[in-house]
Structures are given as structure tokens and as C-alpha cells.
Structure 1
Amino acid sequence: MTEVMKNYIHWLRDAHAMEQQAEQMLKAQAARIKHYPELEARITQHIGETQGQRELLETCFERLGEKPSVVKDVMGRLAAFGQAVGGSVASDEVVKGAMAGYVFETLEIATYTTLIAAAEAAGDTETARVCRGILKQEEEMAQWLLEHLPSVTTQFLARDADPDAVAKR
């Protein structure tokens, strides 16, 4: 196996673990959101996209005769659990969660941009095509979060100022 291929497969495994982590984080976040229906709906939509992305990556592994890394997948899930528990204690959980979601989406954008270049260098045009499709979904989610951060913030501030409202989630 060439060095190009070794790096490419390694990064593909990283992407799979990242999608496992994303799915767990998104599910935990969606389950806790109670007063921000637009954000909850978009996160729920992205959970479905994320599951589809993971499945697409698994077909790429099959085609290449490779497998995802069990260790990386487990570590990703553990990291997501830690993030969910840590975020749930913040008094401004919904705002911090939306911000963290945006940051994570930009990591995914960088990952798929790298994977496209690596797939092309390895001569794997099918995985490059798959990654372009996933990249588009990640860019759309990042853009949605960026555009909605102000409204999530102002909704939180309004709810936080109301002694009868729960703002955190």
C-alpha cells in the first residue's frame, strides 16, 4: 500500500469516527432542546443526514476492501458523551451548543475538503464524489447555524430575562 493510500484510508477512518461522534452529539442536543423548535428541527434533520453520511462512508470502505476503525469510533462516541454531559450543565446550554455545532461543522468541512483531495490523489473518484456530496450538506448546516446564531441568542436572552421562562434549553 502506498503512503498516499495509507494516509487516505487513515483520514477516511477519522471521518467515519467523526460522523459517529457527530451523530451522538446531535442526538443528545436534540433530546434536550425544549424551547427552540426551529433549532431542534434543523438538528433533527441533520441527524438523518449524518446517519446517511456514515452509511456512505461505510460503502466507500467496502469498495476499498477496508473497514472503519473500531477504536476511533468508540473514542468518538466517548468524546460525544463527554461533550453532552459537559454542555448540559451550562446555564446557556442552547447558545453554547449552537456555537459548538457551528465549530464542529467547520471541522467536518475541512475534513471532507481534505478527503476529496486525498481520494483524487489515490485515484478513487467514487469516494471523491461521495465526499463532495457530504461536504455540501456540512456547508449547508454550517451556514444555517451561522445565520441562526443571532436568533438563538436573542431568543435565549429574552427567555433568560423572563423569570417564568426556562432559557437554558
Structure 2
Amino acid sequence: MATKEPREHLLDWLRDAHAMEQQAETMLKAQADRLVHYGTLKARVLQHLEETEWQKAQLEGCIARLGGSPSALKDLSMKMMAFGQAAMGMAVADEVVKNSLQSYVFENMEIASYTVLITAAEQAGDFETRDVCQQILAQEVAMAKWVLDHLPGTTNAFLTRSAMPGMEAKV
């Protein structure tokens, strides 16, 4: 089995993170486009979409500094997964609740990913990438906390709307 230097793993994992942010961007756009009755949630989704676009650009800079480029195949695969997730969400009556659950899980996957990247960047001696990943990690932790803190309110709003005759509740 061939050995890999920490820098090579770091570059691979940065490409994975870039693809993950592609997926996040697609999911957030789909959520924002569909949210109608949950204004606070929509505003936070749009804010995180802006953060995600910034994160993606930062990752592109880290990848380029290491002499690489994003993986078109990984990016496309993750975008396709996001489209599938969005389509499945539209088919359920409790879309806003399911999306909130999915968002919380996704944010925690991102938190784990950036935690790994910070460690890998430190071991590779790439402190600029470490610093970028620490900034991104802070944004992901804040979003996960926001989703979790607002999950009861989103759920209550959905349940209230759902119990009212003729009231649209799913988004």
C-alpha cells in the first residue's frame, strides 16, 4: 500500500469539503426558494447560504495554494445528491420539519469535517488553511446551534399551521 504525506490527505479532504459545500449550497438554495411561511428560518438559511458561498471560495483558495483544483466529479456528485434530497423533501407533508432535521445532521457532518481538516492542516504545516478551516468551523457550529435552538419553534409553528383547516404548513 502506498503511503501518503499529510499534505496529500489534506488536499483530498479539502476537495471533499468543497464538494460538501457545493451540496450545502444546492440544498440551501432549494430550501430558501421553497420557504414561504417560516420567515425567520428563511432569513437564517439565506444568511448561511452567503456563508457557504464564502466558505467555498475560501476552500478553492486553499486547494489552489496546495497546487490542486476542486474535483469536478465530487462536486457534481454532491450537487446531484442535494437535488435528490430536495426532491424527496417536496414529496412529504412535513417538509419544513424534515429539512430542519436534515440541516442539523448536515451541519454536524460539516463540523466533523472541518475538525479533521484543522488537524490535518496543522500536521501538514499549512497554518493558513488551518485558520480558514477554523473560521468555517465557527460558522458551522453557529448554524448547527441555531437550527437546534429553533427546532422547537419550527416544529410548533408547523404543528399549529398543520392543524388549521386550509392552512399551508409544509413550507
Band the TM-score falls in, shorter-chain normalisation? over 0.9
User: Aligned letter for 2:61?
Assistant: T
Bigger CA drift: 6-15 or 149-158? 6-15
Task: Quote the RMSD (CA, aligned, Å).
Answer: 1.0
User: Following the alignment from structure 1 to structure 2, what is the Cα–Cα distance between the partners of residues 103 and 145?
Assistant: 10
Flag structure 2 segments of 5+ consecutive residues without an equivalent.
Answer: none
User: Aligned letter for 1:153?
Assistant: T
User: TM-score normalised to the size of structure 1?
Assistant: 0.98
Note the C-alpha offset of 1:164.
2.3
Corresponding position of 1:100 = 102
User: Following the alignment from structure 2 to structure 1, what is the Cα–Cα distance between the partners of residues 103 and 118?
Assistant: 22
Note the C-alpha offset of 1:64.
1.2
User: Aligned letter for 2:57?
Assistant: E
Flag structure 1 segments of 5+ consecutive residues without an equivalent.
Answer: none
Structure 1 runs (4+) deviating above 2 angstroms are: none
User: Following the alignment from structure 1 to structure 2, what is the Cα–Cα distance between the partners of residues 137 and 5?
Assistant: 24
Query: Which of 148, 151, 168 is the aligned partner of 1:166?
Result: 168
Corresponding position of 1:81 = 83
User: Following the alignment from structure 1 to structure 2, what is the Cα–Cα distance between the partners of residues 168 and 129?
Assistant: 39
Instruction: Using the aligned pairs only, state the percent identity.
Output: 54
Answer yes or no: is 1:146 the counterpart of 2:152: no
| 1:1-169 mapped onto 2 (5 Å cutoff) | 2-169=4-171
Deviations 1:28-58 (A, max 9, x none): 0110111000000000000000000000001
User: Aligned letter for 2:32?
Assistant: A
Deviations 1:1-32 (A, max 9, x none): 94322211111110000000000000001101
User: Aligned letter for 1:152?
Assistant: T
Number of residue pairs the alignment of both structures matches: 169
SS in 1 for 2:50: helix
Deviations 1:113-162 (A, max 9, x none): 00000000111000000000000000000000000000000000000000
User: Following the alignment from structure 1 to structure 2, what is the Cα–Cα distance between the partners of residues 157 and 86?
Assistant: 20
User: TM-score normalised to the size of structure 2?
Assistant: 0.97
